[in-house]
Amino acid sequence: MADDTYHSTRFTADPRRRVLWRTLVEGVFQKQIPPDGVVLELGAGYGDFINSVKARRRLAVDCWPGMMAHLEPGVEGLVTSVTQLDAIADDSIDYVFSSNCFEHLTRQELVDCLAQLRRKMKHGATLTLVQPNFKYAFREYFDDYTHVSVYTDRSLSDLLAANGFKITRCEPRFLPLTIKTGAPVHPLLIRLYLASPFKPLGKQMLISATR
């Protein structure tokens, strides 16, 4: 949502989120990013992911103007919809990341976003998504009143493939759904969770695809 209502009620600032994303970037996502790459985050929110990334150029997109106050020096913020990416040069992005964003879009809005990403991403660039997986999170999925679309690991993978992307990685259970459970958020515990083959609490999926 473009105003502050959502961010003052459902999606409030939480320092634990910065710990989580810094650990995930160091342990998982930074390895996917070329050392001299250009990274784009869609739906950047409080900037926890993009602030943690090391890259030659970092771009953050969100329709919430409040995002700008949370971006670290060196991160370029664009207050716009993920369906309006005209300010980004074609064939310029090496890595696109988005977490908990596409369930807030209609299906047509997501298709429009993917069409633009195909133009903005370099050939062979990577798109990585972390999303609630309705298959495992159906009980809580619509506790967030701004969720409008339902995706599972299968349906989102198929939608990406139908829109010109090649799936390279799909983990149906990547992370727990939320940090609001009260469980401790510590780098060691996060790394142990990622290394475990068993993730019964995993209700968010990870999908990576190339252009």
The range of the structural domain enclosing residue 110 comes to: 5-210
- 92 pairs with which residues across the strands? none
Q: What is the pLDDT of residue 132?
A: 96
Task: Identify the CA nearest to 179 among candidates 15, 41, 49, 24.
Answer: 15
**37 backbone φψ class: left, alpha, beta (φ>0; ψ -120 to 50):** beta
Q: What is the pLDDT of residue 170?
A: 98
The Cα 159–Cα 157 span in angstroms is 5
Report the sign of the C-alpha dihedral through residues 161, 90, 85, 27, in that order. Answer: positive
Q: What is the pLDDT of residue 43?
A: 96
Q: What is the pLDDT of residue 42?
A: 98
How many other CB atoms are there within 10 angstroms of residue 198's CB atom?
Answer: 8
Q: Which residue has the tokens 């913020």?
A: 77
Question: Across 43-178, where does the E strand assignment appear?
Answer: 57-62, 75-79, 93-99, 121-132, 166-176
- CATH number of the domain to which 73 belongs: 3.40.50.150
Q: Which residue has the tokens 């009143």?
A: 145
Q: Which residue has the tokens 């999908």?
A: 207
3-class state of residue 82 by DSSP: coil
Q: Please tell me the pTM assigned to this model.
A: 0.91
Please give the average pLDDT of every successive group of 10 residues along the chain, which has 211 residues: 59 76 95 94 96 97 96 97 96 97 96 97 97 95 93 98 98 82 75 85 95 88
Q: What is the pLDDT of residue 8?
A: 53
Amino acid found at 18: R
Q: Quote the number of domains for the chain.
A: 1
Do residues 166 and 209 touch, judged by C-beta distance below 8 A?
Answer: yes
